[in-house]
Chain A
Amino acid sequence: MDFRTNIPIYVQIATSIKEQIMSGSLHFGDKLPSVREYSLIYEVSALTIQRAISQLDLEGIIQSKKGIGSFVLGDCKDNLESRMIGQQVDEFVEKMKKMGLSDEFIISKVKESLSNG
C-alpha cells in the first residue's frame, strides 16, 4: 500500500480495514489477520498495526480479545454506514449555520431539495 507520508500511518491502515469491511471483503464475525501478518501485509511496524487495531476497537468496528485475536463486529457495516452518513449531515449543517441560516430555513431547504428529487 502506498501511504501518504503526512497523515498518521495508523489512521490510513484503520481506514483501509474499514474500506475492506464496507466493500464486503471482510465480513461480519471474520477474524482479522494477526498483528504480525498485518505488519507484513502493510510493511509497517507491529506498533503501528496495534494502534490501528485499538482505533478500530475504540470505534466499535472490531472487537479485540486478548490472546485470541480481533473480530469484525456483527453490526458494524450498518454502524459504519450510519456513522459516515452522520458525518456528512453534520458537516452540511455546520456550513449552513456558519452562513447564519436559521434551523427552520435549513429544514425547509432540505425538504425543498428532497421534493425536487
Chain B
Amino acid sequence: MDDFISIKGISKKYGNTYIIKDMSMSIPSGRIIGLLGDNGIGKTTFLRLLGNLQQPDEGEIRIEQTPVSQMNVKDIVYLLEPANIFDWMKVKDSIAFYRDFYEDFDAEKALRICREFGLDSNVRISRLSKGSKEKVCLMLAFSRNAKLYLMDEPLGGIDPTLKKNIKMFILENIPADATIIMATHLLKDLEVLLDQIIIMGAGKIIYVDTDEIRETRNQSIDEYYSEVMENAADN
C-alpha cells in the first residue's frame, strides 16, 4: 500500500442531491492528472474535499496514510481563484506574505516567475487586469514546493502566449515527484502532458492512464472523452 492518495467511499450532498456518491480510488504519487467533466458536475467539490477545504458527509480521504482532515493545509497547494487573493496588497507584499506563511515558498522563484510573466511586483493587485491577477495566483502557487497541487481551471483567462507555454511552465516549476490534479477544459492543449484522467459525470467515475487509452483504443484523449460523454448522454 504505497498509494499517495487513498479515497474510500466518499459522498457529498448539497441538500438532498448527491454531488459525489460513494467514490473510491487510489492515486499513486508523481502523476499529472486531468479532472474532466461538464460544469456543475462536482469537480470543484472533489478538489475542495482533497484540499480539506470541505469535508465529505461519508467516507475518508488519506494522503500518505494521514486523513486529510488531520493534515496541515500547508502541505497542499490549492490554486486560488483571483477573487480569493488579498487584492489590496502589492504583488511583492503577497510574496512576502506567502513566504512568511508557507515554509516551502521560494521567494526567489516567485520573483523569477514575475519577471517571466511580465508582472511588476510594485503594483497593487487590485489594479491588475483579470489575466494578470490569474498570473499572480499561478505565481504564488508554483513558487511553493509541495507534493500535491490542486488546480481548478487554472488557465481560464490566460493569454495565448502563456497558454502555449503552459506545459513548460508547469514542468519547470513543480517537483518531478509531485502529484497535480487539475480540472481543465483545455484538453487539446494539455492532453500530451497528462499521465491520467479522471472523468466525472459519465454515469460512473472513470480513472484511467492516458497512454493506455491511446494504446488500446488508438484514440486521442479528446476523442475518448467526447465518446464517453456522448455515450453517457444516450443512456
Contact = CB atoms under 8 A, between A and B. Distances in A.
Contact of A6 (B167, B194, B220): B220
Interface in A35-59: 35-36, 39-40, 43-48, 51
Contact of B171 (A3, A7, A45, A51): A45
Interface string B172-193: 1000110000000000000111
B234 interface: no
Interface size class of A (residues with CB under 8 A): 10 to 19
A10 interface: yes
A44 B192 contact: yes
B218 interface: yes
Interface of B: 30-32, 167-168, 171-172, 176-177, 191-195, 210-211, 214-215, 218-223
A35 B30 CA distance: 13
Interface string A1-28: 0010111111100000000000000000
Interface in A82-113: none
The secondary-structure label for the interface of chain A is helix
Nearest to B210: A9
Interface centre among A36, A39, A47, by most B CB within 10 Å?
A47
B31 A9 contact: no
19 contacts: A5-B214, A5-B220, A5-B221, A6-B214, A7-B214, A10-B211, A11-B215, A36-B176, A39-B171, A40-B168, A40-B171, A43-B171, A43-B193, A45-B171, A45-B194, A47-B30, A47-B31, A48-B211, A51-B211
A48 B168 CA distance: 15
Given A6-B223, A7-B218, A43-B192, 17 more contacts: A5-B192, A5-B220, A7-B214, A8-B211, A9-B192, A11-B211, A40-B168, A40-B171, A43-B167, A43-B168, A43-B171, A43-B193, A45-B171, A45-B195, A46-B177, A47-B30, A47-B32
Contacts of A44: 192-193
Contacts of A45: 31-32, 171, 193-195
Nearest to B176: A46
A5 B223 CA distance: 9
A8 B214 contact: yes
Nearest to B216: A8
B31 A6 contact: no
Interface of A: 3, 5-11, 35-36, 39-40, 43-48, 51
A48 B211 CA distance: 9
